[in-house]
Amino acid sequence: MEMLKVQNLSVNYGYITALTNASIEVDKGEIITLIGSNGAGKTTMLMSISNLVQKNQGQIFFKEKNISKVPSHKIVKNGLCHVPEGRKIFPALTVYENLWLGTIGNQNIKKKDVQELVEKQYDLFPRLKERRNQGGGSLSGGEQQMLAIARGLMMDPDLIMLDEPSLGLAPIVVEEIFELILKIRDTGKTVLLIEQNAAMALSIADRGYVLQNGRIALQGKGIELLHNEDVKRLYLGAD
């Protein structure tokens, strides 16, 4: 089943072109990654899907419904959650309070469901359970990233979009985050992942898209892109 379809998307910021005629598709249960250099337009793609930036052209379909003009907060309620780059957790609040805040604004989630959702996140992220009463600001970078993802999952979304979850983390922590992404998919979620760490992202993704200067330059199975000569040369640091 088709979860998300982005059709011929173009976005400009004033005279800067961020995306040109970009189309991607995500099926239910897939991990799809979008890779590309700095400024290629990856973040703009997610912001456009969440309707946080204005589109010049193009349509977004989520679960076959045209959401191109749906306000951002309603898109989240429909089951599409966006974990932005930079974590943006509340440092003065505890881990539990940060998680609880993830459900604010969704009246569909009843008070009694909140605890069940928190427990689900604790199962997935045992480290957060251990630190549930600790201030968000006192967590390590990797734990803060886990908290940001878990807070997104509190909306119980069908599709979770992750913007650079590995940014600034030590290699061993990066591996942990990627393993968690696989586990999240195993709980029945669909994942759209943006990454500069192309090698790791392609190795866990079912399919990937390569963005170059706002255009989709290449697409294919994760494993195929991983072995593609152009991808290797441009994004995987091979000679």
Give the pair of three-digit tokens for residue 134.
């600790």
Alpha-carbon distance values, 120 to 127, 184, 186 (Å): 13, 11, 13
Q: How far apart are CA 143 and CA 133, in angstroms?
A: 14
Please state the closest distance from residue 4 (CB atom) to ligand ATP, in A: 17
- What is the four-CA torsion angle of 174, 178, 180, 181, rounded to 10 degrees? 140
Nearer to ligand ATP, 106 or 196 (CB): 196
Could you say whether residue 13 binds ligand ATP (CB under 6 A)? Answer: yes
Binding-site size, ligand ATP (CB under 6 A): 12
Please state the closest distance from residue 163 (CB atom) to ligand ATP, in A: 8
* Partners of 22 in beta bridges: 9
Could you say whether residue 42 binds ligand ATP (CB under 6 A)? Answer: yes
CA atoms within 13 A on the CB side of 213: 0
Q: Going residue by residue from 195 to 224, which x/- string records binding to ligand ATP, judged by CB under 6 A?
A: -x----------------------------
Nearer to ligand ATP, 34 or 149 (CB): 34
Could you say whether residue 43 binds ligand ATP (CB under 6 A)? Answer: yes
